Every structure is written in structure tokens, then in C-alpha cells.
Amino acid sequence: MKHLAYKPGNSLIHNIDPRGKVILFVLFVISATFTNIENILSVLLLVSGLLTIILATDIPILHYLRRFLKFYLMIFVVTVFLPFLNESNNVILTIGGVNIYEEGVLEFLNLNIKLSLILFSSITLISTTTFPNIVSALEEIRLPKVVTSVIYLTNRFIEILSVEAQRQYLAFQSRYIYLSPYSRLIILAKAMSMFFIRTIERSDRIYLGMIARGFNGQIPKATKLAWDDKDTIAVTIGLVFLLFVWIANG
């Protein structure tokens, strides 16, 4: 299986046991979620810690930015109107008769800062750890096997559908390039219907193929995870750092 998000490497972050990375990732997400953005010190600690890890991966910054922007645009569109919709008494600016409220701005910053931290940490995890190893780590930390199986199969199914969607898009572009925008829209709608039908058919074939190969609900592990001293040191440093963040956050 080709892991589109994973970037092979031999950095310190790549070599940390996946279980340690998953544990620290979950704790980082919790810390970012409950951090008060008005506490500048705790926010700076989270940003500096995450930036240090990103630089330690030896992966180009552009890789992170490209993947971040794919998701952040959706976050921005959803939150961009918050400063205008929170009808409190604290108006900080008026533009063309439209009020911008202090509480709305704080909500906008709160969501964008926290979700950006979570996004960058997620990209770091999946860029330095193969997906099967992430699933194996989740199983090792006692996440129910039904849940890990669903996560694994969903990822696999999305990869297959992505290839299928690209194939249909190329076929559409090559055959209907000279049609009017309206005609192209009608044909695109029909193509989407066919895509969903083929999705159902493909899911049936995948399931029957798995059953034929003896699938019993257990996801085979690609590699056996091994914990050593460097993993203990890395996780300990991470825990101490997050403890400082919690202390700074009050």
C-alpha cells in the first residue's frame, strides 16, 4: 500500500516508537484544546514546541504548509464570520456600518489558533509514521480492535476511491472539453452518480476479497513495535514539556 502522507526518513522523530508518538499527540491535542489563548505564554510554548518537532523531522516546511492549507481554508471559511455575528456590547470596529465585536474576534482567534496547532501536530504524526504503524500503536494502547479495524479499512477505502475519482475526472476532462459550462455541469452530475454507484460496487468487491483471504476482523501488523530507552526519554521529555504548558496555563 502506498502511504501518500508518509515521508520516509531517519530523523529522531521518525525513529520514536509509534505508541509514544500517538500518546504525546493525544496529550498535545488535549493541551491545545484546553489552553486559554489569552495566556500568551502557554500558546507560545505550544507553538515553539511544535515548531521544534517539525524542524527535527527533517521534512521540508513546504510539505507541512501545503497539507495545512488544504484543511485550513475550510476552517477559515467557517469561522471568518464570527467577529461579525457575536452581538455583544463590545464593538471594537465598525466598517461600512458593519460592527466587529470583541467576543467574536476572540472566538475566531480561539478556534483558528487551536485548530491550526492540532492540524500541524496531525500532519507531523502522519508524515513521520506509516498508517499501519499508527493503527498498531492504537491497538497496543488498548483502543478497541473494532475501532482500529474501522479506521484502517476506512483509510484503505478512501485511497481506492481517490484513485477512482482521479480516473473519472481525467476521462471527463479529455472527452468533454469543448462543451458549454451548462452541458459540462449536467454531465458532471451524471458522472458523480455513476461514481457513487461504482463506490458501492467497489466496497462489495473489497469485502468479498477480504473474506476470501480469511479476514476475521484482525488487521495484520506490518512490523512488530519495539520500545527502547530512547523512546522512554523522548516520551518523558514530551510529558515534562506538556506539564509546563499546563502550569503556564494555570
**Against a cut of 0.85, is the pTM above it?**
no
Residues 6+ apart with CB under 8 A from 37: 43, 106, 109, 110, 113, 114
Structural domain contains residue 38? yes
Residues 43 and 114 in one domain: yes
Residues 118 and 42 in one domain: yes
Residues 120 and 207 in one domain: no
The whole-number average pLDDT for the span 136-165 is 79
pLDDT digits (tens, 9 = 90+) for 114-147: 999 999 999 999 999 988 888 888 888 888 877 8
Our count of domains for the chain comes to 2
pLDDT digits (tens, 9 = 90+) for 14-68: 999 999 999 999 999 999 999 998 889 999 999 999 999 999 999 999 999 999 9
Q: Which residue has the cell 503556564?
A: 248
Q: Which of the four pLDDT bands, split at 50, 70 and 90, describes residue 189?
A: confident
Residues 103 and 183 in one domain: no
More confident residue, 156 or 228: 228
Structural domain contains residue 161? yes
Residues 208 and 241 in one domain: no
Is the model's pLDDT at 223 over the cut of 60? Answer: yes
Q: How does the average pLDDT of the chain come out, rounded? A: 84
Structural domain contains residue 221? no
Instruction: Tell me which residue range forms the domain holding 70.
Output: 18-129+228-249
Write the DSSP symbol of residue 101: E
Structural domain contains residue 219? no
Residues 107 and 150 in one domain: no
The whole-number average pLDDT for the span 175-199 is 73
The whole-number average pLDDT for the span 178-193 is 73
Burial annotation 40-66 (CB, 10 A radius, 16+ → b, else e)? eebbebbeebbeebbeebebeeeebee
Cβ pair 86, 104 in contact under 8 A: yes
Element (H, E) at 49: helix 40-56
